[in-house]
Structure 1
Amino acid sequence: MNRLLPIEWLAALRFLNEGRLQTLFIVGGVAVGVGVIVFMSALLDGMQANIFRRVLSSQPHIVISRPKDVARPLRVSHDGQIIVANVQKRSQIVASLDQWRKVREQMRRRGDIVAVSPTAGGSGFAIRGDASQSISLVGIDPQEYAKIVPLPDKLVAGTFRLTTTDMIVGTQLADDLGVRVGDKLRVATASGASATLSIAAIFDLGSKGVNQRNVYVELATAQNLLNLVGGVSNIDLTVADPFRAEEIAQQIGGQTGLLAESWIKTNNQFFLGLNAQKFSSYLIRVFVGLSVAAGIASVLVVSVVQRSKEIGILRAMGGSRGQVLRVFLIQGAVVGLAGSLVGSALGTLLLEVWRLAARNPDGTPMFAVSVDYGLYLWAAVLATLTGLVAAVTPAVRAARLDPVAAIRG
């Protein structure tokens, strides 16, 4: 097999074999760096996905509603000029979206939107005996809305069923009013309408405010209670790429003339926190990569000094500068690749240890962590390239050695 290998490969592998201790140190350094990158990448991705899922599991990516009523001047002169700058904002009333069915069909035709659900929402009161609680009444089409917010997966009691006489309430509201599945509550709204509904299920969306406030009813029920017969107040959307939600919302606003608000706008601090976390993780990976490259370069520089006589002999036997250059580039690539393979195994082992150690008080995993197998491929490619780049300076130095001076030492 050795006869099939070019002289550069034979020399590179021989140098690595003769300096086993150095080779082991450099491969170990690369392995630690790659292991840290694999472990941190999987851990941070899992953490971000968990936080992202928890925040967005209780809300749509984009909400389309009527534009806010504009403010009006309080005083105007006889010629129509405003003479008093004081402006009073009009009170906002629950009103239906104009031509909402047409807007819904437009949204369904967009390739970047995966789910569309019209809703009728407004404020009201849940009343049981002498106790009452202010609520946010949300009328939904159960099948469509489940694609926006996975309510069936969030139920802690009852079944996901909504008829004109059913309601689904949160755990906090159920505790406050002392009710459970099968009990009845009277729901009243500012329009003067009221209805007595039966609790079909109780949900937990992971937010005390949402669990205390949101009450889900069938769309027709909410339309009657909110005096929106045949109308809807919002159209909720889920997009294919949540991080493009604000861009898509602006496009929708320009297309329809309606108010389109994305989760990025309504959760701006959370979005900025996610971006900061991603940026910091990238910086950590870059600095780990730089430290790995520095380690490879330093060891290969020492190898050039130690192998100067062999390099001189190789040149004296007719070896070209290019061949000497390739010898050390091959060494850098080999140790980078070997280190990436060992590091990937080390990162996977660390993730398994973390899965066993990181547990909630009830014994369940803190959050799901999985490794994209493409990460292993990228780790191997980047570590190999890092080894090549780190070997450039030592390789150039070796190629420039004078054969006679090198042999004489």
Structure 2
Amino acid sequence: MRLSFKIASRFLRFNFGQTLLIVTGIAIGVSVQVFIGLLIQGLQQDLVNRTIGSSSQVTISANKEIATISGWEEIIEGIVQNEQGVNQISPAADGAAFLVGEESSDPVIVRGWIFEDAEGIYAIEEKLIEGKVPGEGEVIIGLNLKDELGLSIEDDIKLATATGRIQDYKISGFYDFRVSSINSSWVITDIKSAQGLFDYGDEVTSIEMQVQDVFAADIIADSINNRIDNEDLIIDNWKAQNQELLSGLNGQSISSIMIQVFVMVSVVLGISSVLAITVMQKSKEIGILKAMGIRDGDASRIFLLQGLILGVFGAMLGVALGLGLSVAFTKFALNPDGTPVIAFYINYGFIALSGGIAILASLVASFIPARKSLKLNPIEVIRNG
């Protein structure tokens, strides 16, 4: 093995220009694979974060007949103890109401939370642009509703339900979820205030969760459904609610895989052809080595080691170049507010896999010239020059 490695290294150094060309070709292929892969994964991550990153990914709700969930504390405790993939869990007491003004009434959705639990899902503190999180008897209003009605902190508002109950609340702050429909319709308060407004008692209308792996939300939802086994509860997940988004993400993944496959195929063909020519160029040297006693296996290993060396250096250079392209893209492709169009995303597993595939592809490509070297007859090669 040591002799084969020395000879392989010498052959590569002797034709340094050709070696550099092969390494560059591998590096370009790997860099394209890394750049495209990280770009699409970053785009997917960004889309997921924007659409479901600050919302419930698995939701337990009551059906229309019972409207509310009793024993929700035990349900949450069971999920926390048995479902390893759940990161955040929060109860909610929601209901439709009217924000009663002097001249008109605006339909709103009142959302009551335990803010310590809801913070992990909705990041309320980050979205507050003015004021503070509401206590009992207080609410926070969306930016659109604030501007539409000309409201200010410490203003009193009236919320009316369909049953005729009217309750006074004080505005403690304003939020911006950067979603117009939410900013125009959600009135957020603590869970006790919402339960009192809608006569829910100690019950809630839903239990909301975020999971560690967002693409496993349907599996977790099925697991919770099988364990709870309650026909009065509906367990839904974001994948069932966002089929078009999921289809788009799958399409992006398939496109990325196709690009990477064709890039690797071109790399394999390029290495195979160049190393096959190398066998012809070095046939006389191989013939002399065989005549001096080197075994066929050692001779073929020369080309396998050449492929391995080329793959390792090409993969290292390609990964560095791919990461450089990714960083450059996030620096130059910017939104009007100066933020990157797609945030820089690093998946170490994917990077390692890309480099490993390049090395494996280089090794596989070297099998053709290695096998060809086995058939070289030293007497004929030396005689024919």
TM-score w.r.t. structure 2 length?
Answer: 0.93
State the shift of 1:7 in Å: 1.6
| Kept in 1: contact 2:327–2:344 (CA 8 A) | no
Q: C-alpha separation between the residues in 1 aligned to 2:4 and 2:56? A: 60
What residue is the counterpart of 1:200 in the other structure? 172
State which of 344, 354, 359 in structure 1 corresponds to 2:319: 344
What number of residue pairs does the alignment pair up?
A: 380
| Kept in 2: contact 1:191–1:225 (CA 8 A) | no
| Kept in 2: contact 1:96–1:231 (CA 8 A) | yes
Taking only the aligned residue pairs, the percentage that are identical comes to 34
What residue is the counterpart of 2:329 in the other structure? 354
What residue is the counterpart of 1:167 in the other structure? 139
State the shift of 1:393 in Å: 0.9
State the shift of 1:109 in Å: 1.4
What residue is the counterpart of 2:211 in the other structure? 239
Structure 1 gaps of 5+ residues are 70-93
State the shift of 1:374 in Å: 4.4
State which of 362, 380, 383 in structure 1 corresponds to 2:358: 383
After TM superposition, list the pairs within 5 Å mapping 1:2-401 onto structure 2.
Answer: 6-69=2-65, 95-110=67-82, 111-159=84-132, 161-256=133-228, 257=230, 258-401=233-376
Q: C-alpha separation between the residues in 2 aligned to 1:193 and 1:10? A: 89
Q: C-alpha separation between the residues in 2 aligned to 1:180 and 1:43? A: 43
Q: C-alpha separation between the residues in 1 aligned to 2:339 and 2:329? A: 13
State the shift of 1:353 in Å: 1.6
State the shift of 1:196 in Å: 2.2
Q: C-alpha separation between the residues in 2 aligned to 1:182 and 1:306? A: 86
Which amino acid letter does the alignment assign opposite residue 43 of structure 1? L
Q: C-alpha separation between the residues in 1 aligned to 2:64 and 2:138? A: 32
Q: C-alpha separation between the residues in 2 aligned to 1:321 and 1:68? A: 78
Which amino acid letter does the alignment assign opposite residue 218 of structure 1? D
Query: In structure 2, the residue corresponding to 1:53 is in which secondary structure?
Result: helix
What residue is the counterpart of 1:87 in the other structure? none
Q: C-alpha separation between the residues in 2 aligned to 1:206 and 1:168? A: 15
State the shift of 1:61 in Å: 1.1
Query: In structure 1, the residue corresponding to 2:121 is in which secondary structure?
Result: coil
Which amino acid letter does the alignment assign opposite residue 134 of structure 2? L
TM-score w.r.t. structure 1 length?
Answer: 0.88
Residues 190-229 of structure 1: per-residue CA shift (max 9 Å, x gap):
1212222222222222322122222211111111111212
Which amino acid letter does the alignment assign opposite residue 302 of structure 1? I
State the shift of 1:57 in Å: 2.9
Q: C-alpha separation between the residues in 1 aligned to 2:253 and 2:6? A: 43
Residues 19-66 of structure 1: per-residue CA shift (max 9 Å, x gap):
222111111110101111222222222211111111113321111112
Residues 24 and 319 (structure 1 numbering): CA distance in 2 closer, same or farther, change over 3 Å? same
Which amino acid letter does the alignment assign opposite residue 28 of structure 1? T
Q: C-alpha separation between the residues in 1 aligned to 2:381 and 2:191? A: 87
Q: C-alpha separation between the residues in 2 aligned to 1:286 and 1:391? A: 18
State the shift of 1:370 in Å: 3.2
State the shift of 1:180 in Å: 3.6
Which amino acid letter does the alignment assign opposite residue 135 of structure 1? V
Q: C-alpha separation between the residues in 1 aligned to 2:64 and 2:307? A: 63
For structure 1, which segment, 330-339 or 176-185, has the greater mean C-alpha deviation from structure 2 after superposition? 176-185
The structure whose residues are more often helix, as a share, is 2
Residues 231 and 342 (structure 1 numbering): CA distance in 2 closer, same or farther, change over 3 Å? same
Residues 144-200 of structure 1: per-residue CA shift (max 9 Å, x gap):
1111221212222222x1212211222222222222433332211112122222222
Q: C-alpha separation between the residues in 1 aligned to 2:284 and 2:154? A: 89
| Kept in 2: contact 1:166–1:199 (CA 8 A) | yes
State the shift of 1:260 in Å: 0.3
For structure 1, which segment, 234-243 or 124-133, has the greater mean C-alpha deviation from structure 2 after superposition? 124-133
State the shift of 1:373 in Å: 4.1
Query: In structure 2, the residue corresponding to 1:368 is in which secondary structure?
Result: coil
Query: In structure 2, the residue corresponding to 1:229 is in which secondary structure?
Result: coil
For structure 1, which segment, 269-278 or 370-379, has the greater mean C-alpha deviation from structure 2 after superposition? 370-379
Query: In structure 1, the residue corresponding to 2:258 is in which secondary structure?
Result: helix
Q: C-alpha separation between the residues in 1 aligned to 2:377 and 2:353? A: 38
| Kept in 1: contact 2:39–2:342 (CA 8 A) | no
Question: Following superposition, which runs of at least 4 residues in structure 1 exceed 6 angstroms of deviation?
Answer: none
Residues 94-145 of structure 1: per-residue CA shift (max 9 Å, x gap):
7221322221221221222222211111111123321332111111111111
State the shift of 1:375 in Å: 4.4
Q: C-alpha separation between the residues in 2 aligned to 1:263 and 1:96? A: 21
State the shift of 1:68 in Å: 4.6
